[in-house]
């Protein structure tokens, strides 16, 4: 019954989304105000959430009469992973997608108060339109509640590698990000329909974009760290098509965030902001399509048949095409904002948008290039790190230069007076660069420049706080400082670890001592051990660099069902870096060991976390400002 209830709720919600679409755009509806469409949006979101809850229930109780559960779950799974299994498959994760879409619409309906009514109604209508298409896909091509008759005796989804807490929470975090951007898309569509692109729109859109962006930043950072410790190769970003699919919405959302600030403060960059809002969610939809259609091969991809891929492609083409058409037809009506000069904060933010868009463009082209080449010439090729590092790196450096300068400029016109404060940071950066040039004579120019810019950005990001009464500085300023400081942190981590990582690859006998970087490591022993559903060969390593002796135990693990081998790396985290150890195969009486000493590598993810916290602070700061204003009668 649970499954049927869930399915019924989905059908109802789908019908409501159609109603929502009608209420949003039908002429003459504006007379009733926004109350009806708000109610519909809230109900639709609520029903979708209910349907999702039913699916979770069906997984939590391992209802084997539901095909999806029989395929992907198992009665012996721990409860946490039974629940996480709800979204660990195509249909379930698609339902999660639609649920976040519905809840975002409902939240927009409940919490948005300050937007002009017709724009608001049109935006909710657009949100309904988005939901409708995906409901149709879900109900007709990816029904999560399909029954299995007769019910299975046991589930088939007990792959232990997928039972990982990081893996369990990765999708919901990312989906809150991707699908949260739908609100920006809908608001942009609403604003184009009514022609009201102004600071009111920016202020209405901003918290949604901020919230989605914080989740995306966290999701991408966490995903990177998970891949780093789990895959055993010591790498933290592979430019895998699916990784790129998560990066592209983030790039667009970052540009949008900054553009919204211009629109909110100065009412400039109207067309750009609208376009970015549409591109950001379009990138989310493209990402969903790429992962589920089989168009790009990747370890991440779900196995889905091409018919579903075609369906998603048509949905995508329709939504993006309609939005672009609307933009083409209506953007001419948008009046341009007040002018600004070359040396001004607006100009710096235009530059910021430009650079982020170029990065988005080259990543997009690089990800799709193999597809185009094969379609046109039949040749098979792959585009990987050599391309992406070479094209994205220099632009990222230019972006860092802007981050040091931009926050110090006034709106509209700046004399450049305050830029003099950058002399010391610039000198520090230059100094760091020159030191690296001498200390690390071999290749790595990009990383050395990156570190130079990062060293300059550390103090430069704090400069907006200089000569201000810190107690009276708005929280949003602190948020910006923290986020930019986080960028410097992450880039510093990337540069230093790429320039100074030491690696040792050796076949050693137990008892031997090997070294990597400043570490001296004794390979003490290797012995078989067993876990609940695996056996492993565990090596014991004793590592020291002159001080205390640390123990590391990397494993070569064998799971029985399904039979798979994995490497479990052992990582030692210190203040100055990480010691990353992996054990490989036996070679005669020796064992392969791969050891890395990665100085400062943790700064990468610390930086990502700081950026996300900065975003959260900005959200908090704006909310606080709103509450305080509301409190003042």
| Nearest to other proteins of 15, 295 (CB atom) | 295
**Alpha carbon distance 360, 158 (integer Å):** 38
| Nearest to other proteins of 361, 518 (CB atom) | 361
Residue 576 CB, nearest approach to other proteins (Å): 26
Helix residue spans in 463-512 (DSSP H) = 475-500
CA separation, residue 476 to residues 347, 465, 482 (Å): 21, 12, 10
Residue 522 CA to its chain's centroid (Å): 40
Residue 436 CB, nearest approach to other proteins (Å): 25
539: helix, coil or strand? strand
| Nearest to other proteins of 335, 415 (CB atom) | 335
**Alpha carbon distance 296, 340 (integer Å):** 43
Q: Which residues contact 254 (CB under 8 A, 6 or more apart)?
A: 213, 356
User: Please, are residues 220 and 239 in contact by the beta-carbon 8 Å criterion?
Assistant: no
User: Please, are residues 331 and 396 in contact by the beta-carbon 8 Å criterion?
Assistant: no
| Nearest to other proteins of 250, 340 (CB atom) | 340
Q: What is the DSSP letter of 149?
A: S
Residue 364 CB, nearest approach to other proteins (Å): 8
Buried b (16+ CB within 10 A) or exposed e, 603-626: bbbbbbbbbbbbbbbbbebbeeee
Residue 246 CB, nearest approach to other proteins (Å): 19
| Nearest to other proteins of 68, 432 (CB atom) | 68
| Nearest to other proteins of 111, 318 (CB atom) | 318
> Residue written as tokens 């500085």?
473
Residue 298 CB, nearest approach to other proteins (Å): 11
User: Please, are residues 121 and 34 in contact by the beta-carbon 8 Å criterion?
Assistant: yes
Residue 315 CB, nearest approach to other proteins (Å): 11
| Nearest to other proteins of 221, 288 (CB atom) | 288
Helix axes 475-500, 445-462, angle to 10 degrees: 160
Helix axes 35-60, 117-141, angle to 10 degrees: 30
| Nearest to other proteins of 135, 340 (CB atom) | 340
Residue 511 CB, nearest approach to other proteins (Å): 15
> Residue written as tokens 């699908």?
179
Residue 353 CB, nearest approach to other proteins (Å): 8
Which tokens go with 568? 């479990």
**Alpha carbon distance 390, 394 (integer Å):** 7
| Nearest to other proteins of 371, 623 (CB atom) | 371
Residue 339 CB, nearest approach to other proteins (Å): 5
């Amino acid at each position: 019954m649970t499954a049927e209830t869930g399915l019924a709720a989905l059908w109802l919600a789908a019908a409501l989304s159609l109603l929502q679409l009608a209420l949003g755009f039908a002429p003459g509806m504006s007379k009733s105000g926004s109350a009806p469409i708000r109610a519909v949006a809230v109900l639709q979101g609520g029903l979708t959430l209910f349907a999702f809850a039913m699916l979770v229930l069906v997984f939590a109780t391992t209802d084997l009469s539901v095909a999806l559960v029989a395929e992907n779950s198992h009665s012996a799974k721990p409860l946490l992973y039974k629940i996480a299994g709800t979204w660990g498959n195509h249909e379930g994760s698609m339902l999660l997608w639609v649920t976040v879409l519905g809840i975002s619409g409902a939240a927009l309906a409940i919490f948005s108060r300050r937007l002009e009514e017709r724009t608001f109604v049109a935006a909710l209508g657009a949100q309904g339109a988005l939901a409708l298409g995906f409901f149709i896909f879900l109900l007709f091509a990816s029904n999560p509640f399909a029954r299995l008759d007769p019910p299975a005796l046991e589930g088939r989804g007990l792959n232990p590698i997928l039972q990982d807490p990081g893996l369990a929470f990765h999708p919901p975090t990312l989906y809150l990000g991707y699908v949260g951007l739908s609100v920006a898309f809908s608001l942009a569509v609403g604003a184009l329909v009514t022609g009201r692109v102004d600071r009111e729109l920016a202020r209405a859109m901003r918290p949604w974009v901020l919230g989605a962006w914080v989740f995306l930043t966290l999701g991408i950072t966490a995903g990177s760290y998970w891949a780093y410790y789990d895959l055993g190769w010591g790498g933290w970003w592979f430019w895998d098509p699916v990784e790129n699919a998560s990066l592209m919405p983030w790039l667009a959302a970052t540009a949008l965030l900054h553009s919204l600030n211009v629109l909110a403060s100065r009412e400039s960059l109207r067309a750009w902001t609208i376009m970015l809002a549409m591109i950001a969610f379009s990138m989310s939809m493209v990402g969903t399509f790429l992962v589920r259609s089989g168009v790009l091969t990747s370890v991440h991809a779900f196995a889905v048949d091409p018919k579903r891929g075609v369906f998603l492609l048509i949905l995508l083409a329709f939504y993006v095409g309609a939005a672009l058409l609307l933009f083409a037809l209506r953007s001419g009506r948008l009046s341009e904002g007040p002018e600004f000069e070359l040396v001004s904060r607006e100009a710096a933010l235009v530059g910021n948008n430009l650079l982020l868009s170029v990065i988005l463009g080259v990543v997009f082209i690089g990800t799709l290039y193999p597809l185009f080449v094969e379609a046109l010439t039949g040749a098979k090729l792959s585009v990987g790190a050599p391309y992406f590092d070479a094209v994205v790196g220099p632009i990222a450096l230019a972006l860092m230069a802007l981050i040091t300068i931009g926050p110090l400029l006034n709106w509209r016109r700046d004399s450049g007076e305050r830029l003099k404060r950058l002399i010391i940071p610039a000198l520090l950066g230059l100094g760091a660069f020159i030191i690296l040039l001498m200390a690390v004579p071999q290749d790595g120019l990009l990383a050395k420049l990156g570190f130079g810019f990062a060293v300059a950005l550390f103090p430069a990001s704090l400069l907006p706080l200089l000569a201000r009464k810190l107690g009276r500085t708005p929280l949003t300023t602190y948020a910006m400082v923290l986020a930019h400081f986080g960028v410097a942190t992450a880039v510093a981590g990337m540069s230093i670890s790429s320039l100074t990582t030491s690696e040792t690859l050796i076949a050693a006998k137990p008892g031997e001592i090997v070294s990597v970087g400043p570490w001296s490591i004794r390979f003490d022993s290797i012995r078989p051990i067993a876990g609940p559903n695996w056996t492993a060969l565990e090596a014991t390593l004793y590592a020291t660099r002159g001080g205390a002796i640390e123990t590391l135990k990397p494993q070569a693990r064998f799971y029985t069902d399904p039979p798979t081998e994995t490497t479990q790396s052992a990582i030692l985290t210190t203040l100055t870096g990480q010691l990353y150890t992996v054990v490989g195969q036996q070679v005669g009486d020796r064992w392969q060991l791969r050891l890395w000493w990665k100085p400062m590598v943790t700064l990468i993810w610390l930086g990502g976390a700081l950026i996300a916290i900065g975003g959260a602070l900005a959200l908090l700061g704006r909310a606080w400002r709103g509450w305080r204003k509301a409190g003042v009668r």
